[in-house]
A and B are shown apart, each in its own frame.
Chain A
């Protein structure tokens, strides 16, 4: 889908125009100019945890809107959604009128919320959850229906997950992570943690997030994406490095170069916890680290998570130690600061492949979005 960049798309007031992808604003209508996957919009004033340099990086040139006012969707948001699709679809207003003026539209069935049975294995439960999310469908409308503020307390995000189930509408990747957390709450043998990706395609940056899962020595993921191989992965990967490598390999099929990977911490199972999700405890600059070094860091982080020696900066609960296998990681008492591996020099020959600039001119500037 080509992203509309005409001036008419910037119809909202400058105060609401944001290029950042994070949903931290309380404003009702935000025109967001950002990379596809970074969900929701924000006004700069409310976005205190964003680093100054990230705003420009996230600008992938594709617009999406966010519904901030609940359901039924109010008319301003509703009309904006239709204006947007009329601008991007080749049939434009004709397509819009066909749907809006239809006397009868088929009722999309409301998928049944999966219910966990004690006889189900963890992999089966994950498949049930993923199937449920797929039944909701990936949201291609250009308007995100559920506002996700990543800095919100977990209990608040779980309320949004309940709303997603209640309203039963298409979702995108960040919403899928929240929903995945909600539906796996209570399955204490399964650990969940966010995995965020920043990739580059044809000179633009794209962001994506999935819910990493760990159970009984194996890693996998849940999520939603435009691409089937960039969402759920089975619980078969022996290490976190292997899982991330699998994603990197999938990205390559779409000519996306992995730039950064951010791994969060395990999300507590208690849905009433007030602390926010830790989204990026480990940040790896894939462009600068060699593949081996990345794997090493990921493996270390995985071990540390399993040993429960990592603590979120906002965590309230004490660190629980588990004597489970051997770990070469040093013991840590306090919360480890967010580890960023951005300044290590990659001594190997240039690992960043530069795509020929003409990619962006192919097919009227179409970009393979994730």
Chain B
């Protein structure tokens, strides 16, 4: 085969390139960071809810006792 033909031959290998892998990894990292931020924002809200319910329960128990 002529060298020029070899250059024109399409690449059949479909494995991801190093660049693809790096981009995928970067996207995954970003997703993880976003998920972490959302988790902590959610945890703050749910922690406050639990505290409110606990306080209300204690107050109710107190008034029942009285």
Contact = CB atoms under 8 A, between A and B. Distances in A.
Interface of A: 1-2, 71-73, 78, 81, 85, 88-90, 95, 99-100, 102, 105-108, 137-142, 145, 167-170, 226, 255, 362-363, 366, 368-369
A170 B43 contact: yes
A242 to B, nearest CB: 28
B31 interface: yes
A368 B33 contact: no
A170 B37 CA distance: 11
Contacts of A99: 38, 41-42, 45
B28 interface: yes
A107 B32 contact: no
Most buried by A among B28, B32, B36, B60: B36
B2 to A, nearest CB: 48
A255 to B, nearest CB: 8
Contacts of B56: 363, 366
A68 to B, nearest CB: 16
Interface residues of B, number: 26
Contacts of B39: 141, 145, 169-170
A108 B61 contact: no
Contacts of A137: 40, 43, 47
Q: Which 8 A-B pairs have the closest CB atoms?
A: A140-B46, A108-B40, A105-B37, A72-B31, A72-B32, A363-B57, A99-B41, A140-B47
Query: Which secondary structure dominates where chain B touches chain A?
Result: helix
B43 A139 contact: yes
B43 A78 contact: no
Given A108-B40, A141-B42, A362-B64, A72 B28 contact: yes
Contacts of A106: 37, 41
A108 B47 contact: no
A164 to B, nearest CB: 13
A90 B39 CA distance: 18
Given A363-B53, A366-B53, A368-B57, A168 B36 contact: yes
Contacts of A138: 47
Contacts of A105: 34, 37-38, 41
Interface in B22-66: 28, 31-43, 45-47, 49-50, 53-54, 56-57, 60-61, 64
19 contacts: A2-B53, A71-B32, A72-B32, A81-B42, A85-B46, A89-B46, A89-B49, A90-B49, A106-B41, A107-B37, A139-B43, A141-B46, A168-B36, A169-B36, A362-B60, A363-B60, A366-B54, A366-B56, A369-B50
